[in-house]
Amino acid sequence: MKVINDTEFDSEIKNSTVPVLVDFYAEWCSPCRQLSPLLEEMSREMGGKLKVVKMNIDESPETPTSFGVRGIPTLIMFKDGQQVAVHSGAMTKSKLNEWVQAQL
Contacts of 29 (CB under 8 A, 6+ apart): 72, 73
Reply yes or no on whether 48 is catalytic: no
Q: Is 47 annotated in the active site?
A: no
The catalytically annotated residue of 29, 72, 91, 100 is 29
Catalytic residue among 4, 21, 22, 32: 32
Q: What's the rounded Cα separation, in Å, for the pair 35 and 54?
A: 11
Active-site annotation, residues: 29, 32
